[in-house]
Amino acid sequence: MPEKGGQRAGVGRLAVLGLQHVLVMYTGCVTVPLVFGAAAGLDAATIAVLINADLLVAGVVTMIQGAGVGRFLGVRMPVMAGAAFTAVTPMILIAGEYGLQAVYGSMLAAGVFGLLIAYPFAKAVRFFPPLVSGVVITVVGLALIGVGVNLVVGNDPKAADHAAPSRLALAAFVVVVILLVARFGRGFLAQTGVLLGLLAGTAVAVPLGLVDFSAARTADWIGVSAPFHFGAPEFPAVAVLSMCVVMLVLFAESTADLIAVAELTGKRLTTADMARGLAADGLSGVLGGVMNAFLDTVFAQNVGLVTMTKVRSRHVATVAGGILVALGLVPKLGALVAGLPQPVVGAAGLVMFATVAAVGIGTLRKVDFDGTHNLLIVAVSIGVGMAPEVAPDLYSRFPEGVGIALGSPVTSATLLAFGLNLAFNGGSSRRGAGTGTGRAPVSEVPREEAAAGSP
Q: ∠ at Cα 67 (63, 68), nearest 5°?
A: 100
306 pLDDT tier (thresholds 50, 70, 90): low
Distance CA 228, CA 41 (A): 18
Q: Which domain holds residue 112?
A: 11-143+250-437
| 157: in domain | no
| 186: in domain | no
Which of 362-376, 398-412, 426-440 is least confident? 426-440
Name the nearest CA neighbour of 227 among 81, 87, 109, 108.
Answer: 108
58 pLDDT tier (thresholds 50, 70, 90): very high
What is the rounded (10 degree) CA torsion for 311, 314, 317, 319?
-100
User: Could you give the C-alpha distances from 271 to 14, 118, 259, 327, 443, in angstroms and in order?
Assistant: 29, 10, 11, 33, 6
In percent, the amount of the chain with pLDDT more than 70 equals 82
Residue 427: predicted pLDDT: 61
User: Could you give the C-alpha distances from 454 to 113, 123, 292, 431, in angstroms and in order?
Assistant: 25, 19, 33, 31
The predicted-structure confidence for 180-236, as pLDDT tens digits, reads as follows 988 888 766 776 677 788 888 888 888 877 777 776 677 677 777 789 899 999 999
The predicted-structure confidence for 237-270, as pLDDT tens digits, reads as follows 889 988 998 898 888 778 877 877 777 777 788 8
pLDDT exceeds 90 at position 277 = yes
| 453: in domain | no
What amino acid occupies position 103?
V
Which of 61-65, 341-345, 441-445 is least confident? 441-445
| 195: in domain | no
| 387: in domain | yes
Residue 253: predicted pLDDT: 76
Most confident of the ranges 56-60, 254-258, 363-367: 56-60
Distance CA 51, CA 43 (A): 12
pLDDT exceeds 70 at position 278 = yes
pLDDT exceeds 50 at position 447 = no
Which of 110-114, 300-304, 416-420 is least confident? 300-304
Model confidence pTM above 0.75: no
Most confident of the ranges 40-44, 47-51, 374-378, 449-453: 374-378
Residue 275: predicted pLDDT: 93
Tally of domains within the chain: 1
Instruction: State the chain's maximal CA–CA distance in angstroms.
Output: 65
| Stated length of the chain | 455
Residue 446: predicted pLDDT: 43
Which of 12-16, 54-58, 367-371 is least confident? 12-16
Residue 236: predicted pLDDT: 92
| 408: in domain | yes
Residue 14: predicted pLDDT: 74
1 pLDDT tier (thresholds 50, 70, 90): very low
| 128: in domain | yes
| 223: in domain | no
Mean pLDDT in residue range 33-44: 86
Residue 300: predicted pLDDT: 65
430 pLDDT tier (thresholds 50, 70, 90): very low
pLDDT exceeds 90 at position 283 = yes
Distance CA 260, CA 298 (A): 11
pLDDT exceeds 90 at position 100 = yes
Mean pLDDT in residue range 100-118: 95
List phi, psi (to 5°) of 294.
-145, 160
In percent, the amount of the chain with pLDDT more than 90 equals 22
pLDDT: which is higher, 302 or 249: 249
